[in-house]
Amino acid sequence: MSPPEAAVTPPEVVAEPRVNYLNASYGLKSWLLTRDHKRIALLYLASVTVFFFLGGLFAVLIRLELMTPAGDLVQAETYNKLFTMHGIVMIFFFLIPSIPAVLGNFLIPMMIGAKDLAFPRLNLLSWYIFVAGGLFTLWAVVHGGVDTGWTFYTPYSTTYSNSYVIATAVGIFITGFSSILTGLNFIVTVHTMRAPGLTWFRLPLFVWSHYATSLIFVLGTPVLAVTILMVGVERLFHLGIFDPKLGGDPILFQHLFWFYSHPAVYIMVLPAMGVVSELVTTFSRKNIFGYKFVAFASVAIAVLGFLVWGHHMFVSGQSVYAGMIFSFLSFLVAIPSAVKVFNWTATMYKGSISYRTPMLYAFGFIGLFTIGGLTGLFLASTGLDVHVHDTYFIVAHFHYIMVGGAIMGYMGGIHYWWPKISGKLYPEAWARFSALVIFIGFNLTFFPQFILGYLGMPRRYHAYPAEFQILNVMSSAGASILGVGYVVPLIYFAWSMRYGKAAPANPWGATGLEWDTPSPPPTENFPVTPIVRTEPYRYSPEEVEVIG
């Protein structure tokens, strides 16, 4: 990206106060009406952080209830609302927007040498839409919550549930438009606003993975919107779409829902993969092994991800042959993920590896994503899925992907770019400590759930047979450790904003255009439009080709 000599230049230290995007203007209005992608990213950061801790609060109550076999802490109705709201808040209001809308928003223009996204007003609008959707859903929570599970399976959601299905669904419907706008903005920006010399194969992999994610945003989210609309229409007007008593088909809902919601998993994990590609190269001081394979793997995952939804329905009554086709395609989508893991590992070979906090998160991501991905193969194996489907095995698997994968990537990314975003350094010792706590707490929480699932404990159970207690207590104990691990960064990041050491423009000695501009960057990102002359991750002036 940057000229080769940039990598060996010692990091400059910016001492004198200067105008940057944070102090360019003051006041609430300057934030709420901003069109600067960096400020909008911070608006998103604040909102998704609120949602993350809200979703986490629901998780705390779930784990407390499951300490004992009897349903004694909360009533069954409350418990059902808790796991539903945990899923909805975490998926739609934290995981899906987290990396794209915060880090993607902040970094994509900077990584391609642009002053902003292609449509700055749409970008601000997408945040308002997100907040409006979130408020709708919060309104439903405050007024009694919803108990359908985040999956809204029909006919329970359309006919039988007595909770605030419509209000919650409207919230998710609205929020979907913010995803579509963000995706559209990214696609147009990457196509039209790259700096001179920045060809497609010179793009950082973070941009590639966000491009792939944006394709899913734009193509998948409308299907979710239509599906939610149909749930609303059936619930309000008793128009038979999904309820067999009205002449509908409940399996149709599952097809439509998973057509979006399986690709949504890749919306969560692809951006994290992009982050990890940046972290592994920076902290190995090496170019990525097999750049084109890693780049095209993102696109392959996005495309294949649209063809595997039926693997959620092996025991639903879908035909046996349809099940086999979806099983086969699900195994195919595992290959590009495996390719990425191998390439990240190979990138470290003969590198210069530093153990800074972001790299610890990258290690955590690769390990946990590997376990999450491999256990996905258990579920893609039709004959085995029959047993583990809808048990805690599934719960463990998708938490390895979403928490072990997506949130590890998010945390790694936030630490890595924090100096750029805030202009301050975070305290390294505390950050390493909390990364370790999160890794240990995560595994303690979710590994026992694989065993629990194979033993046969179904998910979404308020009370359970006594023989499952030991593993549930282990899981709850792990969750308390994990909770500490997430609260500590909240404190030191807030602390560092005021008391942290000023960050140099390039504290990691990284390549990438975002590190060529001061921390925090000026509003226009680059005083002069940069010109790109080399491939990305060019740490060494000479290239060595290795075969074999």
Binding of residue 397 to other proteins (CB under 8 A): no
Q: How far apart are CB 278 and other proteins at their closest, in Å?
A: 16
State which residue, 221 or 284, has the beta carbon closest to other proteins: 284
Find the distance separating the first CA and the last CA of the chain, reported in whole Å: 27
Backbone angles phi, psi at 55, to 5 degrees: -60, -35
When asked if residue 466 is in the footprint of other proteins (CB under 8 A), the reply is: yes
* CA atoms of 248 and 239, how far apart (whole Å): 9
Q: Does 8 bind other proteins (CB under 8 A)?
A: yes
Stretch that binds other proteins, among 95-103, 131-139, 155-163, 175-183 (CB under 8 A): 155-163
Q: Under the criterion CB under 8 A, does residue 320 sit at the interface with other proteins?
A: yes
Window 194 to 223, contacts with other proteins (CB under 8 A): none
Residue type, 20: N
Determine, following the binding rule CB under 8 A, whether residue 455 of this chain makes contact with other proteins: yes
> Is 303 one of the binding residues for other proteins (CB under 8 A)?
no
CB of 377 to other proteins, least distance (A): 6
User: Which of residues 149, 222, 232, 522 is near other proteins by CB under 8 A?
Assistant: 149
For other proteins, the closer CB: 357 or 375: 375
Cα maximum dimension of the chain: 72
129, two tokens:
């839409």
Q: In the window 69-88, what residues touch other proteins (CB under 8 A)? A: 71, 76-77, 80
Q: Which stretch binds other proteins (CB under 8 A): 44-52, 88-96, 184-192, 458-466?
A: 458-466
Backbone angles phi and psi of 351, in degrees to 5: -95, -170
Nearest residue (CB) to other proteins, 106 versus 291: 291
Please state, in angstroms and as integers, the Cα–Cα distance from residue 19 to each residue in 115, 116, 393, 527, following that order.
16, 17, 52, 12
Q: How far is the CB of 190 from other proteins (least distance, A)?
A: 23
Contacts of the segment 135-138: beta carbons below 8 A, 24+ positions apart: 135/171, 136/167, 136/168, 136/170, 136/171, 136/174, 137/88, 137/89, 137/92, 137/93, 137/167, 137/168, 137/171, 137/172, 137/175, 138/171
Interactions with other proteins, residue window 321-380 (CB under 8 A): 323-324, 327-328, 331-332, 334-335, 338-339, 341-343, 345-346, 348-355, 363, 366-367, 370-371, 374-375, 377-378, 380
464 contacts other proteins (rule: CB under 8 A): yes
Q: Which stretch binds other proteins (CB under 8 A): 156-164, 169-177, 230-238, 261-269?
A: 156-164
Write the CA distances from 99 to 45, 67, 105, 256, 312, integer angstroms: 9, 33, 9, 25, 25
* 386-390-393 Cα angle (round to 5): 90
Nearer to other proteins, 25 or 159 (CB): 159
